[in-house]
Amino acid sequence: MNNKASFIAGLPLLALFPLLLCSKANAHFPTLSCHYHQQESKPKNSHLGNQQVKSKLVCEAGYSDASLAGNVKLKVFSYDDTLLLTVITASDGSVTLTLPQGEYYIVFDPGHESPAEFDYAELQ
């Protein structure tokens, strides 16, 4: 084989070389999960007993490798794409927020992958 043919045959291996050096080539995608925070409430009529009130939402941002996404922004949007709220997660990736009025969705966008979204309809 001549030098030109050897060079051309080695191009596919040369193209893969940067992937071997880069540990971030197998990046993990973002995840976002949310659930109601249940609070007990005493009604005025004490014979009714305690009731569960769903006034808070707890969300946890992380990555598909189970690592947590601490101190990151989560943005809450209405269905007409109006920004309602921006919150920062704690170091463990969690945040508690007051339930927005109406229909909404929450976005965790780490910037290097497709963003993770949580729609309020998933709570039902």
* CATH number (domain holding residue 85): 2.60.40.10
CB within 8 A of 56, min separation 6: which ones? 36, 37, 39, 96, 97, 98, 99
* 85 within domain boundaries: yes
DSSP secondary structure letter of residue 61: E
**Residue 7 domain-assigned (yes or no):** no
24-53 pLDDT, tens digit each: 445 689 999 999 987 666 555 555 555 556
Is residue 65 in a domain? yes
Pairing status of strand 73-78 against strand 83-88: antiparallel
The answer to the question of residue 75 being in a domain is yes
Spatial contact of 53 and 39, defined as CB atoms under 8 Å apart? yes
Q: For 4-18, what is each residue's pLDDT tens digit?
A: 666 566 555 555 555
54-91 pLDDT, tens digit per residue, is: 689 999 999 999 999 999 999 999 999 999 999 999 99
Q: Which pLDDT belongs to residue 116?
A: 96
Beta 30-41 vs 94-98: how paired, if at all? unpaired
The per-residue pLDDT for 49 is 56
Higher pLDDT among residues 22 and 70, named by residue = 70
Asked whether residue 106 is assigned to any structural domain, the reply reads: yes
Could you tell me the residue range of the domain that residue 118 belongs to?
30-123
Number of domains, the chain: 1
51 within some domain: yes
| Predicted model pTM | 0.68
